[in-house]
Amino acid sequence: MVSRLLILLYALVSYALFTVSFLYALGFVGNYVVPNSIDKSIDVGSTATLNEAIILNLLLMGLFAVQHSVMARPAFKRWSAQFLAPACQRSTYVLLSSLILILLFWQWRPIPTVIWRTDGPAAFLLTSVHWLGWLIAFASTHMIDHFDLFGVRQAFVAWRGAKIPGQSFRTPLLYKIVRHPIMLGFLLAFWATPVMTLGHLLFALANTAYILVALQFEERDLIAEFGATYQDYRRRVPMLLPRLFARRQTKGAPR
Ligand SMILES: C[S@@+](CC[C@H](N)C(=O)[O-])C[C@H]1O[C@@H](n2cnc3c(N)ncnc32)[C@H](O)[C@@H]1O
């Protein structure tokens, strides 16, 4: 009973830390109100030489990418099951991801050279798309199962003494338009900015490359888990870019 309560507490603390790091990410990427005492965002903070900034920033993003991808693989989950209860596996993943994000926010070195700067309607449009991206990403977590993604459900189920159910496959709402709306949301939030600096461009480019590679691994696991169901979904629904026009029905094709 005590250990189940501790697991629940651990899951709630991990989720709280994720919430803080996600909220800080909004301020970090968009250069919005980050606390004056911290004064750190993608374009604000202590500077370094160009080479130092590129290397350090790439290392920080690389650390996040490796942790995020390695810990998500079924082989890693099987291995870590030797010393981590299934009920706290996802929370540990969330906790470490959040800690690495906080390290990234803290140690990030801005590169302030401006690549593009807009104002007026163009700036308004880019800012709107930026916020739409965050909204899509956050809403999409609720479409598949927000509390399962962040490890809270598993801890609650274990606390009640029930068996943790396996992963379920869902395709509601935005998942009918693209297979990866959370990642699409992130891409919009990272690229749509009224002022693009070299540091921000490095962040957007590296994360785009990471997302494209990570999705290959994720889909390979989804095919292994859901087989023909996921293969069929892959044929019907595009990966990241919505089809603007439905394909014309071929003449004589069965309806
Ligand atoms: C961070 S989420 C990203 C989901 C998806 N790639 C996206 O961008 O919307 C990763 C987790 O979602 C799961 N997942 C991806 N597509 C799913 C779906 N259609 N239904 C249920 N789980 C899904 C993956 O197995 C993985 O555990």
CB atoms within 10 A of CB 127: 15
CB 226 within 8 A of CB 162: no
User: Is ligand 1 within 6 A of the CB of residue 187?
Assistant: no
ipTM attached to this prediction: 0.97
> Has residue 145 been placed in a domain?
yes
Q: Is the CB of 183 under 6 A from ligand 1?
A: yes
Whole-number CA gyration radius for the chain: 20
170 close to ligand 1 (CB < 6 Angstrom): yes
**Mean pLDDT, residues 103-130:** 96
Split at pLDDT 50, 70, 90, the class of 164 is confident
Ligand 1 pocket test target in 76, 164, 176, 218 with most atoms within 8 Å of CB: 218
Q: What is the mean pLDDT of residues 166-195?
A: 95
Q: Across all residues in the chain, what is the average pLDDT? A: 91
Nearest to 94 by CA among 118, 57, 66, 68: 68
Q: Is there an atom of ligand 1 within 6 Å of 127 CB?
A: no
Domains identified in the chain, total number = 1
What is residue 117's three-state secondary structure?
strand
What pTM does this model have?
Answer: 0.90
Query: Is 181 part of a structural domain of the chain?
Result: yes
For residue 35, the model assigns a pLDDT of: 63
- The answer to whether position 247 is within a domain reads no
Assess if residue 251 is contained within a domain: no
Average pLDDT for 192-216: 97
Quick check: is 58 in a domain? yes
Q: Classify residue 250: in a domain, yes or no.
A: no
Which position has the higher pLDDT, 4 or 210?
Answer: 210
Residue 255 lies in a domain: no
101, part of any domain: yes
> Is 225 a pocket residue for ligand 1 (Cβ < 6 Å)?
no
Confidence of residue 36 (pLDDT cuts 50, 70, 90): low
Identify the DSSP state of 235. H
Number of H helices, E strands in the chain: 10, 2
Domain range for 119: 2-236
pLDDT digits (tens, 9 = 90+) for 61-107: 999 999 999 999 999 999 998 988 888 999 999 999 999 999 999 99
